Structures are given as C-alpha cells and as structure tokens.
Amino acid sequence: MAGNSFGQLFKLTTFGESHGKALGGVIDGCPAGVTLDLDKIQNELNRRKPGQSAIVTQRKEPDTVEFFSGIFEGMTTGTPIGFAIFNTNQKSKDYAHIKDSYRPSHADYVYDQKYGFRDYRGGGRSSARETASRVVAGAIAKQLLGEMKINAYVSQVGELQLDKAYQELDFSVIEKNPVRCPDQDMAEKMEDYIKSIKKQGDTIGGVISCVIQNVPIGLGEPVFDKLHAVLGSAMLSINAVKGFEYGSGFAGVQMKGSAHNDAYNPDGTTKTNRSGGIQGGISNGMDIYFNVAFKPVATVLQAYDTINKEGEKVTTQGKGRHDPCVVPRAVPIVEAMAALVMADFTLLARSNKI
Amino acid sequence: MAGNSFGQLFKLTTFGESHGKALGGVIDGCPAGVTLDLDKIQNELNRRKPGQSAIVTQRKEPDTVEFFSGIFEGMTTGTPIGFAIFNTNQKSKDYAHIKDSYRPSHADYVYDQKYGFRDYRGGGRSSARETASRVVAGAIAKQLLGEMKINAYVSQVGELQLDKAYQELDFSVIEKNPVRCPDQDMAEKMEDYIKSIKKQGDTIGGVISCVIQNVPIGLGEPVFDKLHAVLGSAMLSINAVKGFEYGSGFAGVQMKGSAHNDAYNPDGTTKTNRSGGIQGGISNGMDIYFNVAFKPVATVLQAYDTINKEGEKVTTQGKGRHDPCVVPRAVPIVEAMAALVMADFTLLARSNKI
Amino acid sequence: MAGNSFGQLFKLTTFGESHGKALGGVIDGCPAGVTLDLDKIQNELNRRKPGQSAIVTQRKEPDTVEFFSGIFEGMTTGTPIGFAIFNTNQKSKDYAHIKDSYRPSHADYVYDQKYGFRDYRGGGRSSARETASRVVAGAIAKQLLGEMKINAYVSQVGELQLDKAYQELDFSVIEKNPVRCPDQDMAEKMEDYIKSIKKQGDTIGGVISCVIQNVPIGLGEPVFDKLHAVLGSAMLSINAVKGFEYGSGFAGVQMKGSAHNDAYNPDGTTKTNRSGGIQGGISNGMDIYFNVAFKPVATVLQAYDTINKEGEKVTTQGKGRHDPCVVPRAVPIVEAMAALVMADFTLLARSNKI
Amino acid sequence: MAGNSFGQLFKLTTFGESHGKALGGVIDGCPAGVTLDLDKIQNELNRRKPGQSAIVTQRKEPDTVEFFSGIFEGMTTGTPIGFAIFNTNQKSKDYAHIKDSYRPSHADYVYDQKYGFRDYRGGGRSSARETASRVVAGAIAKQLLGEMKINAYVSQVGELQLDKAYQELDFSVIEKNPVRCPDQDMAEKMEDYIKSIKKQGDTIGGVISCVIQNVPIGLGEPVFDKLHAVLGSAMLSINAVKGFEYGSGFAGVQMKGSAHNDAYNPDGTTKTNRSGGIQGGISNGMDIYFNVAFKPVATVLQAYDTINKEGEKVTTQGKGRHDPCVVPRAVPIVEAMAALVMADFTLLARSNKI
C-alpha cells in the first residue's frame, strides 16, 4: 500500500531506482491468451527513450525490456508478467554534488525527511526513469483494448499553444516531428523554442492532450472510481504534472448549463461533447479527451543557491544530462497510463451485469 | 471494487440513492480513542444542506446523521463507524417525467446502458446527494488532523474570478456570505450573478480553491499514490468536477524552470511555493493549495429536446428544485474529501520508518 | 484496511456492536439485475437467530434486516446494498459485571490492550452477533450462484462424531432437527448431549462440515488467493473457529501419493475426490467439501476466577443468555461465508480469459 | 487482484514459472532504514533449496537471489524491493511427456480449463518453485520482527507423529537433521521412513508445526482479518497444504468450555494457552502455535493411467526429480509466510490508536 501498484484487475506494480541495478515491474491480472507483439512494446519504450532527438536529454540508455514470466510461446498465460529494464549507463558521479545538498523543487529534501535518508543517485525512486516500467505495462494494456485508440500529443510548450480542436488535427503527424505535435508548423515553432531554452541551460513546461476513441459505453464506476477520477490520478501520478482537466475542463466553469449540456441524437450519441465522453463517471461512447499540465523540469544547468543537510547555504551548478522540456518524451507515458486505466475498467466492466 | 470505497487505512464506503430509504456509510480504520464532537459533524452537514440560502436549491432536507456503531461514551472505539442519513423529503413524482427519457449531460443514459436499468428517482446513485455521506466522514477525519487546517472557498463563479492569492485573503469571511467567497465585495457580485442566473432558469459553473495549512512533512507516497494524485482523484470524484490543478497548475506550464523553482530557506521551508506544498508527491511542510473546476449543473428549468429509451425525440420541461450554481454547497464537500485524504496519509505515514 | 471488509469484487463491509444501535453492512459489487427473494434472506437470518430451539441461547432478537439502498423494484441496481439490523433486546446491565474484569478466553483483555478501552457490552464488536450481517450478505450471494448448492451441517459435537461420508447423507434432514445434523439418530444423541451440557452451565465444541456442489471449473486464483486459502480464511474469521481442513485434510498426511491421487475419468472428472474439488487452488468441477472446528463457547454459567483491569484477582459468576454449543446456529454462517467466497470468485473468473 | 500479492502494508507480489527465465517478486511497504543481513536471506533460500540432503529432490538449483532495487548502502530505502532468482537448471524435456496429458492431482487440467492453455514445463506457475520468492520476502520480514521468533519444524511424517508439546522441544535440534524435526530419535525414524518411501518411487504427507514467540499484544484485526484467519490463508496458500489448526485446534472441539478456558495470571498472561496466543483474532502476548497439514506429493515415480487433452486414456511413467516428502523443505516456507503475516500486522498495528 506504499503506492507502487496501479489498477484493480489489470494491476501494475513497479520497482527500481534510476541508478540501481534495474527497474521493472509485475503485471498481475492480464488475461490469458493475448498474443503479444513484443516489438510494439519495445517501440513504445523507444518513444520514451533519451537521446532520440536533439531536444531531449542526450543520455544513452538502451532501455531494453526483458520479460521473466507470464508469456509462453508468444501468448500471455494469465500468470503475472514480470519484467525488468537493466540500467547500463549510470554515471553516478554526476550526482556526487547533490549527495549532501537539496536541489530546489526536487524530492531530495522530502525523501530525507520521510525516510531518514535517500538513494541520491539521479533522484533514485523519484526519477522519471520509473515511468519506463509504466510504458512497458501500458504497451501490453494497449494490446487488450481492441478497437479503442489512444492518441496523446503535445498541445502547448511554454506560451506556444495549439489552438485547434482535436477534431481538426491529423494524428498521423504526431510521430513525424520530435516535439510530437500534430501540427507541423506549430511543431517547428515549438522545436525552435525548446532549442533556445536549452541553449540558456533552462527548461520550460508544456501541455499534453490525449484523445481516446472508439470507447465502449459503460466503463467507469459511479462514485469514487469515476472514469475521469482514475484517469486524473493516473496522469497526476506522472512526474512533473501539475494539473488535469477533461471535456470542457476549466473553461467550462464560465458556461451556462443551457449552453454546456450535450443534446442527444436519436442513437444516443451527443451533438456536442463538452462532457468529454464521460457522464456521471461512466463512458458514454463519445471520444474521451483531456489535458495534462507539466511544469518545467526542475534541473536547470545554471548556478543556483540552495541548502545542504545542515541547512547551510551552498551554491551549486546544475549538471548531468537533462530534458529542456519533458513533454515530447512524456507523450508515450500519458498514453501508457491511459491504456492501463482503460484496460482495468474493461476487465472490471465484465462483472457489472449478471 | 465497484468503487464505493475511498482510502486505504482510513477507509470510507458509502451507500444510498437520492430517493431511497437512506444514504450512509461505514468508516473503517478510524483509530480508537478519538473524542468526537458530534455537533461539528452535523454542522458540516448543515453547510452542505439544501435550503440554507436564497442561491441554493430550496429542497427541504434535514440531513440529520444517525450513528450506529464505532462510538462509545463519546469516543471512537477503533471499530467501524456505521452511519445513515434517512431520506425524508422525497418527491419522487418530480421525476416521473424522466423515467423514460434521458436528461442531457446526466448519467441517466449511461446507467441504463451499463446496468440494464436504473433507479430514475432524482438521479439515484449518481445524485450529488451521495456526497452527504462524504461530509460526515470528512468531518470525522478533520478531528484526526490535529493542527492541520483545511480551508476551501469559492474563487470563481462564471466569469467572476477572485484574482487574489490565498495569502491575501481573510478565511474568516468565508462563512459570512452565502457564496462562501472570502472577499465580501466579490461575494456580493457573485451572489447577484447567481440570482440572475436562477431567474433565467439556468445554471452556471465555478471554481473552488482549497488551502491546507500546518501540514507535516512526509505525507504522500512517491509513485502512483502521490499526495496530489490522490487529492486530484478525490476532487474529480465529486459530482460536476471537470478539472484539478495544484501549486502553479496550468499557468505553470508557461514558466521557465529557473523562474519556477522554489529556493530553500535554511530551515528547509521555501521562499516561494509554486510546488503547492508537495514535491515528488510528498508534502514538504509548506501550504498545500489547489483549484477544482465545477461545470454548470445540467438540470436547467427550461424546455429542452432529448430522447427517450426508444431513441425517439421528446421535448421536456426541466422541473424539480435544483441549484443554479453548485459551488457554494460544494465547499464543505471539497474540504471533506481533502480531510479524508490527509487523514489516510497521516495513518499511512506511521508505517514508513522503522 | 482494519479488516471489516471481505471480498474483492463482491465485497462486504460490516459494522456494529452487539449492544449498539444497529449492526449492518454494505455490499459493493453485486451485479445489477438480480431479482432478490427477500424472504430467503430473512429465512437465513432466522436459521441463525437466537431462541429458535431449546439448545440455543434464549435471547429474543427478532433480527429483522432493513435494506437502505441498491435494490429498486425488487432488483439489484448494481449500486451498493446498504442494510442494518436494529438491536432491540439489549440487556446491557447483564454485562455490568464484566465492565472492569476480563472473561477468560474472551477478547476483553486484548481489546483494552489494543484500543485503550472497549465497548464492554456483550463483547461489543467481538460478539458473534456481527455474523448476522454476514448471513444477510451470504443470502444475497447465494442468489448469484445459479446451480451451485452449498450445504453445511453439524458433523460433530464433543466426542459425538458422524462417521459417514457426505455422499451417504440426506441433506434434506439437516433442517429437520435443531442440531442441523443430517443423520436423525446422531442428531438426537447430539441434542440430548447439548442439553446435559447446558444443565451443567457448561459448553461444548463441535465441527461443521460443508459441501459445495455443481461448482464450475476454474474458480480460484493460483497463488495466494487459492480457492481453499480464501475459504479457509473465511471460515477462520468466524468466531470460535480453531481449524479448517478440506478434501483429505489432516488425515491425508498419512497417505502415500500413489493412494492419494485422484485418477481421471475420460470426461475430466475424477474417480475419487481426495482433492476436495480443488487442484492447485482452482476448482476442478468436483464437489468441494471441508470441515470447520469450533471450540466450546467461552462463557460458562459457573463461578470462575479472573483478573480486573488492575490485575487483581476477582471471582465472577457467568451470567447472560448464551449458547451451550455454537455449531447449530453457526451452520448458516458457514454457508454464508462460503457463498461470499464463491460469488466473489465467480465474478473474478470473468476477467481471466480474453 | 489475480491473487499474486500478499499483505496490506508489507506487501509481496510474486511472479515466475518453474521453467521460465526467472522467478521473483516485489516487496512494497518495507519501512526505510532496516539494515539487511543479505546472508540470512540466502541462508533461508538454502534451507528450501533442492539437493540439500538425500531425502529431498536431487535437482540442482543454486537459487541465488539478485536484488534490483530498494536497498542502498545495505539499508532498505522505503522504496519497493525488486528481486529475482534466475532459473539455471531447467530440463524442460523432462516434461515433454506431460505436455498433452494431465497428471492426477496436479493443476494441469484446471489450468487448461481456466486459461485455455498452460506453460506445461514443470507445472509452470503452479510449481512449488514459486515459494522461493516467498522465502526471500519472508527472510526480509523476519528482520523487521525484533524480538519475535518464528520456529517451524516437522512434527509428523505419514503415521510417525511427534507426540510432545512444543514446550518440551529443543528448537536448536531442528536444523541438525535433514527432516527438520526437533526430536533426534523421531527425526531418524522419519528419515528412514522417507528413504523407504523414496525407494518405492512413492511419496508421503506430513505436518509442520510452527511456534511464534515474544509476540507483542494487539496484532490482528477483529473481524475478517483475524490474526489466525490471515495466518491460515497464508499457510493454505502453500502448495500441497490441506489443513490448518491453531491452539487447541480440532482436538479442542471435544472439550468443555470450563476445561478449555485459559485462566488469567495477575499480569495478563494465561495459566494455559489453548487459545494459541490469539483471542478474538488478536494476539494476547502468549506463544502463537499452529499446525499445517501437507498431502503427499502428487508426482510418483511409477506408471499410472490418466487422460490426454482429447480425454483419451494414456498410461504414463512418472519422471523428473521430485521430493518423496515435501515437509523438510517446506519448513522455511511456513516460517516465511508467518513472518510476512506478522510483519504486516506489526505495521498495521501502528495505525490503531491515536
């Protein structure tokens, strides 16, 4: 219950520190008989991998997943799927300078306070490297979703905001640029901007939008486990996320009910979709869409003042290989968490009716 | 696992439909030896109660809580606390007109699809009346929190937005106006606006902000159960909520890391608090603050077109006694959910260190 | 997590002390659309009820269940089923004598140690009265089990042991005698013996056997949640239970593998059933059968020495209205717990295969 | 929820098939700051290891555990402990003969029925090899238990029964003979008997007794999670276990309450301990003791008739390297599961009182 598991029936438990021997996880509850495309899994990891373009961290981590169990002759057996990604490129010395001091807006300080000490190498468990395990599990969950399609993309970097509704976008463009923005012009603007931020040794925040299509009606549970509540907690559990909104979101608060309501078509679909595909916490068959806000990465490659364990002021120089902007690499993470949620509710929905 | 429970160690399970015999719940895991102030519990229910002012629904529901167990001679015994609020003012006939038709942006349609049929009276389980049980449990949780103080308030109604940082506000004003806005001038503007909306038989959305003070360091779990992830799911599980952000939130995405980072003071506090009191999912002792977006209530007292079970178009007139704006009554609900989260992590934190 | 919930998908949470206002519970996860026979539920409660015969406690408790939610027009709605049994016959004064002293082999002492104090009236939460809530939930679970039949009966009282295999028994006899033994001759012997024990103001232990027929193949999970492990914990959670064995049980340890193994018939059934219907933790379609050992009730109506809160020796006289032998009334409790387990695994099995 | 996790706060999730790449697990919730003696962990694995004596299977499996995370500079960090035991001695061909046929009293048949197919090599997930992961976790749990001591030993093999109360035994003898019986004379008798059974290519059952000393008062939860109910499910989840009893157990049913009750000493201890150290599901500070019944191993090295997937009769010859009697190697497994239960309740107890 120390919060390293996610899901009820399709359940992921992860382990691993950024500079330990390996990261990985166990998926419990994956149904038997799923023929897994292992290349698709590695491909999702590659989308998250460092060094994939000029605008992300240049760390070299192969991030190759190794499966230990739960798959036999290419099919899931219904038993737990254990897997690991072995660390190969640990430059622990990069972190010697933070062993005794606390990086601003990192978890260093609270870890020492909560646990009494910490694995200071690369942030240890608080490193976003942990999300590699989520991407593996999400890639397996995706293969359970049948017709459902999950498309995440970068819709904002700093003040550069894509002001198009998702219906106007061509998702096939997403993987054609390093930013993962479905609008090529905006993608280039964002790319240039991230490069300039990188030059400054600084970082910048962004927003990832996600659209889930072909969703069956009836996923989600009415009260505490509303579909959007679980999606929200899934997204908020990703490193650096500061906010979540779905459907009309924060903008919806300014609308009147008469204007906000989604009128029905005879077939039960709705003429508009301000509900974001979810009513009363349950999917209504319309597209689900939501936005996830990411703060700027805390590690800036600049000199800064902070404190050490004794509370003495120290001046430090940010080092290591870090992302100037996290959203391009976070796109597959958002998709993975969304896939875990949808797979779990898909299994759960089977027990709703007699 | 059908999602009617919340919490791990301080665990609430709720039951009840808006027009059934009673609503209520069971709190499992409340420590023994807590002297409960029962008046404070009823007082929280009264803050949520219909009919408390001219700008909320005029339904008359006493909402008196009755405790069945877990309390002996005024103290919690450590055994489950069972309680119920008996329904007394059910005007089921008010809902005969929706028995066979689906109200836009309500859960009627998805319930029929998910469960095969539904208790159509007043929305049944999907009614916000369910939150009365949360308020009871939250009022008990508050009594476990010692120095911690939870203050929620209305910061926006429609386009009327309170543009002051919470530090500039006088929380003692919150309960002095029916809107529950800590700025009296803005409160009056909001009140007038809600009245005009009501006259139109329409509804309007709003935002509730919440500040948690005197938070001990170390609450929250690092990965999936980050403090803000659980707070977010708690808030998103409240009826009509469309978004959640904490600390710098969505605005933070436009900032550079060098400007966003919170520098440390020698005592471990931070000079700024864009982190919103949480770093890496763990409380750092600074104030926790977040915003919750509420859409406009779907039930408008106007004529509207919709469909019936056969998918035929029907024209209906919105009836019943409803809130023109939900946020004034939702303030104690936001506080209750926040209290449940903080109480649960307080108990959980006890098992972190040897 | 303080252990007042049972089950994963068909989940019961109970509350209530023997002398509080009410006992009851919440069933979360009952599928929608189950037409409930409420008389059958009350009938199960009556099988457990005090005062039903001369060999059980003569307390008069109507034990009438009241449903609050989750049932609409006679059918389950898929929402939580809240219910309560109001206490009407509390003679708290009966217990004044134990307020400050500890009854041997009762939970009085450990409750004071664990919680700091206790509701001393009638054992409070540790009273077997809590099982009334389980019987209600079990009676609902039974209505989910289709062809599955659960038959529990008394197979031993003190040294009086029914030495027949369950296949030789006529289950229709069970309810025809107050002992609930399917062999009328043995039932009469047991009844006379219990009466003699009662005359002595003493108590005696016994064994309940249970047979589950028409079990589908594939219920149970392979590792920690083996079907017999969950059945075992369900039975061991019943007051006064000291042991559980299934299939060949403790006698099986003396057998050789060549003699113990169950050979297959061509249709997958087995010629013998020493496995007790479960292989590797999963039902194999054969009858499931197990034994549950109950110790003698601790409350004897005799004078005894014990200690008070100050650790001083006190001599007390056992009072109140108690069962000389608990097994006749425990038969419906064993069936209820078995039904909860089988219903839960039935729902869980739906998510095993794609 | 497919049952590969055990525990609430000290939580083990295991993965792995007997002939897959590796077995292992994740421990979530181990407190930070525990200095781990890794040799003690490997030593427990060695106690379970094949080939350790002439009376166990002669398979050669080094069973060396590799830790991936959660331990830094010799101390637990409070983050999940991931570990694996890589398989090195897989003779899958040994199992080709059972690919299409079902071994009597094995899980082969039910796995095919439940999952549609199975990893037939060495029983796959249903192999007792899975328990190696439990032994690793249990060895870590033991290091959390302070003064608590867990001693398991073999008390019966076939009809050879150790008829001494545990108080009369010298636990230091347990590891001095291959049977792990604390009585040297009986140990030799058992050893000779197991050897004769082995010569016959047959197998025999047995009983393991376990004593937990220096238990703090107050562990266990009153209703469904009674200490003995969780201990029971833990033991029943071990391969080949058919029964569990604690304290007076099945023999207690023949006693009268006046004789069974444990009278108190002034200090709260009891003069006798038929309660087995647990009253009302909560530890009372006296020794906890229980018995676990193991059936004879199903794999006999003899010719036997069975069926194949088509339901046709086939005659097979038992092959492979198997234990003639499982109890000597199961002693550390029983201790491991007991340690997991006691560690979990120790953490849980911290949240009982304010």
What is residue B123's three-state secondary structure? Answer: helix
Can you list the positions of beta strands (E) in B125-240?
149-157, 160-161, 206-213
**Which residues does chain A have within 8 Å of residue B254's beta carbon, measured at their own beta carbons?**
158-159, 205
Contact D218, C110 (CB under 8 A): yes
Lowest mean pLDDT among B213-217, B271-275, C103-107, D235-239: C103-107
- Residue C76 has what DSSP assignment? E
Q: What is the DSSP string of D36-84?
A: --HHHHHHHHHHH-TTSSTTS--------EEE-SSEETTEE-SS-EEEE
pLDDT for B122 equals: 77
Q: What is the DSSP letter of D280?
A: T
**By the CB < 8 Å criterion, does D271 face chain C?**
no
Write the residue in D1, D31, D353 that is nearest to B351 by C-beta.
D31
Quote the pLDDT of residue A129: 93
3-state helix, strand, coil in chain A (%, to 5): 30, 25, 45
Extract the tokens encoding D202: 């047959």
Judge whether residue C148 has pLDDT over 60. yes
Question: Mean pLDDT throughout D109-117?
Answer: 91
Could you report the per-residue pLDDT of C269-321, keeping only the tens digit for each?
999 999 999 999 999 999 999 999 999 999 898 888 999 989 999 998 877 77
Average pLDDT over residues C43-59: 90
Q: Which residues of D132-146 are buried (b: 16+ CB within 10 A; e: fewer)?
A: bbbbbbbbbbbbbbe
CA-based nearest residue to A233, from A43, A73, A3: A3
If you average pLDDT over residues A308-328, what whole number do you get?
88
Q: How confident is the model at residue C205 (pLDDT cuts 50, 70, 90)?
A: very high
Q: Which residues of C touch A222 (CB under 8 A)?
A: 79
Q: Point out the residue among B28, B32, B79 whose CB comes nearest to the CB of C17.
A: B79
Chain D stretch 111-140, residues whose beta carbon is closer than 8 A to a beta carbon of chain B: none
- Nearest in space to A228 (alpha carbons), one of A313, A149, A290: A290
Beta-ladder partners of C283: C278
- Do B1 and C21 count as a contact with CB atoms less than 8 A apart? no
What is the spatial distance between Cα C102 and Cα D217, in angstroms, rounded to a whole number? 15
- What span, in angstroms and rounded, lies between the C-alpha atoms of A203 and C66? 61
Please indicate if any CB of chain A lies within 8 Å of the CB of D26: yes
More confident residue, B69 or D353: B69
Averaged pLDDT, D298-325: 88
Residue A1 has pLDDT above 90, yes or no: no
User: What are the φ/ψ torsions at residue A97 (nearest 5 degrees)?
Assistant: -70, -15
pLDDT at D51 (0 to 100): 87
Residue B241: how many CB atoms within 10 A of its CB? 27
Q: Kind and range of the H or E element at A27?
A: strand A22-28
Interface test with B, best of A114, A157, A353 (most B CBs within 10 A): A114
Q: What percent of chain B has pLDDT over 70?
A: 98
- The pLDDT tens digits of the residues spanning B315-348 come to 988 777 789 999 999 999 999 999 999 999 999 9
In this structure, of B5-14, B118-127, C69-78, the range with the lowest mean pLDDT score is B118-127
Q: What confidence tens digit (pLDDT) does each residue in B202-255 have?
A: 999 999 999 999 999 999 999 999 999 999 999 999 999 999 999 999 999 999
Asked if D260 lies within 8 A of C298 by C-beta distance, the reply is yes
Chain A: give the shortest CA distance to residue C227, in Å: 16
Taking the CA of residue A14 as centre, how many other CA atoms within 13 Å lie in the half-sphere pointing to its CB? 30
pLDDT at A255: 97
How many Cβ atoms sit within 10 Å of the Cβ of residue A18?
A: 22
A15 and D117: CB-CB below 8 Å? no
Q: Say if residue B350 carries a ligand binding annotation.
A: no
* DSSP annotation string for A39-84: HHHHHHHHHH-TTSSTTS--------EEE-SSEETTEE-SS-EEEE
What pairing do the DSSP bridges indicate for beta strands B288-294 and B206-213?
antiparallel
- The DSSP secondary structure of B206-233, one letter per residue, reads EEEEEEEESPPTT-S-SSTT-HHHHHHH
Q: Is C206 on the interface with D (CB under 8 A)?
A: yes
pLDDT for the residue numbered A247: 98
Radius of gyration of chain C (CA): 21
Residue in B218, B236, B295 nearest the CB of A110: B218
A302, β-bridge pairs = none
Contacts of D350 in chain A (CB under 8 A): none
Which CA distances in Å does B225 have to A328, B341, B345? Answer: 24, 11, 10
Query: Given an 8 Å threshold on Cβ–Cβ distance, is B105 in contact with A206?
Result: no
Per the listing, tokens 């676990």 go with D292
Residue D128 CA to residue D332 CA, distance in Å, equals: 13
Interface check B32 vs D, CB under 8 A: yes
Mutation to test the D interface, candidates A17, A34, A92, A95, most D Cβ within 10 Å: A17
DSSP C284: -
Per-residue pLDDT reduced to its tens digit, D155-186 = 999 999 999 999 999 999 999 999 999 999 99
- Closest Cα in chain B, distance from residue C183 (Å): 40
Q: What is the pLDDT of residue B92?
A: 58
Give me the pLDDT at residue C320, please: 72
Spatial CA neighbour of B21 closest among A67, A341, C81:
C81
B49 token code pair: 């109660």
The ipTM estimated for the assembled molecules is 0.97
Six-digit token string for B317 = 């007139």
pLDDT computed for residue D90 by the predictor: 62
CATH of the domain at D182: 3.60.150.10
Other C-beta atoms within 10 Å of B214: how many? Answer: 12
Chain B: residue whose CA lies nearest to D347: B351
Q: Is residue D297 marked as binding?
A: yes
**CA dist., res. C189 & res. C162, Å (int):** 11
Q: Quote the pLDDT of residue C211.
A: 98
Q: D34 contacts in B (CB within 8 Å)?
A: 354
pLDDT (mean) for A329-342: 98
pLDDT tens for each residue of C278-287: 999 999 999 9
For D52, list phi and psi in degrees, rounded to 5: -80, -15
The answer on whether D299 is annotated among ligand-binding residues is yes
Flag whether A314 is marked binding: no
D327 has pLDDT over 90? yes
Note the pLDDT of residue A350. 86
> What is chain B's mean pLDDT, rounded?
94
Provide mean pLDDT across the span B266-271. 96
DSSP per-residue codes, A117-160: S---GGGGGGSGGGHHHHHHHHHHHHTT-TT-EEEEEEEEETTE
User: What is the spatial distance between Cα C237 and Cα D226, in angstroms, rounded to a whole number?
Assistant: 6
Mean of per-residue pLDDT scores for chain C: 94
The residue among D66, D12, D22, D80 whose CA lies nearest residue A21 is D66
pLDDT at C60 over 90: no
Residue closest to B16 by CA, chosen among B91, B84, B90: B84
Q: What span, in angstroms and rounded, lies between the C-alpha atoms of A275 and A288? A: 8
Chains with 3 or more CB pairs under 8 A to chain A: B, C, D
pLDDT band per the 50, 70, 90 thresholds, residue B153: very high
Tell me the residues of chain A between 136 and 195 that have a Cβ less than 8 Å away from chain C. 144
What is the per-residue pLDDT for C288? Answer: 98
Give me the phi and psi of B67, to 5 degrees please: -95, 135
Question: Smallest Cα–Cα separation from B291: which of B182, B150, B154?
Answer: B154
**Chains that contact B by 3+ CB pairs under 8 Å?**
A, C, D
The pLDDT value recorded for residue A352 is 77
Residues from chain D that touch C129, judged by Cβ atoms under 8 A, are none
pLDDT at C194 over 70: yes
Lowest mean pLDDT among A232-246, B43-57, C69-83: B43-57
Residue D257 has pLDDT above 60, yes or no: yes
- Lowest mean pLDDT segment, chosen from B333-347, C236-250, D1-15, D278-292: D1-15
Q: If pLDDT is split at 50, 70 and 90, which confidence band does A92 have?
A: low
Residue type, D353: K
Backbone phi and psi for residue C284, each to the nearest 5 degrees, phi listed first: -110, 10
Q: What is the model's pTM?
A: 0.97
- Are C168 and C155 within 8 A, CB to CB? no
Q: At what angle do helices D327-349 and D131-142 cross, to 10 degrees?
A: 50
Give me the residues of A, 231-260, that contact B with CB < 8 A: 232-234, 236-237, 239, 242-250, 252-258, 260
- Average pLDDT of chain A to the nearest whole number: 94
* Gap between the Cα atoms of C28 and C9, Å rounded: 8
User: In the structure, what pLDDT confidence band is assigned to residue A343 with cuts at 50, 70 and 90?
Assistant: very high
Of residues D114, D116, D141, the one with CA closest to residue D31: D141
Q: State the smallest CA–CA distance between residue C336 and chain A in angstroms.
A: 20
pLDDT at B90: 62
The residue among C126, C226, C264, C327 with the most chain D CBs within 10 A of its CB, best to mutate, is C264
Q: Provide the pLDDT for residue A351.
A: 80
Report the b/e string of A109-147 with b at 16+ CB within 10 A: bbbbbbbbebbbbbbbbbbbbbbbbbbbbbbbbbbbbee
Closest CA of chain C from B71, distance in Å: 9
Angle (nearest 5°) at CA D115 between D110 and D117: 85
Q: Are the Cβ atoms of D280 and C218 closer than 8 angstroms?
A: no
Tell me which of A222-231, B315-324, C127-136, C215-224 is least confident: B315-324
Check residue C88 and give its pLDDT.
85
Interface list for A 64-93 with D (CB within 8 A)? 66-70, 72, 75, 77-82, 84
Partner-chain contact B11 C23, CB within 8 Å: no
Share of chain A above pLDDT 90, in %: 82
Confidence of residue A180 (pLDDT cuts 50, 70, 90): very high
The tally of CA atoms less than 13 A away on the side-chain side of residue A320 is 24
pLDDT tens, A196-242?
A: 999 999 999 999 999 999 999 999 999 999 999 999 999 999 999 99
For residue B141, give how far its alpha carbon lies from the nearest alpha carbon of chain D (Å): 12
Work out whether the CA dihedral A102, A107, A112, A117 comes out positive or negative.
negative
Q: Are D182 and D174 in contact (CB under 8 A)?
A: yes
- Interface chains of chain C (3 or more CB pairs under 8 Å): A, B, D
What is the model's pLDDT at position D351?
Answer: 80
Q: Provide the domain limits for residue D217.
A: 5-353
The upper half-sphere exposure of residue B194, i.e. CA atoms within 13 Å in the direction of its Cβ, equals: 28
Number of domains in chain D: 1
Whether the CB-CB separation of A141 and A36 falls below 8 Å is answered with no
Out of C68-72, D17-21, D85-89, the most confident range is C68-72
pLDDT at D25 over 80: yes
- The fraction of chain B above a pLDDT of 90, given in percent, is 82
Cβ–Cβ of A111/B282 closer than 8 Å?
yes
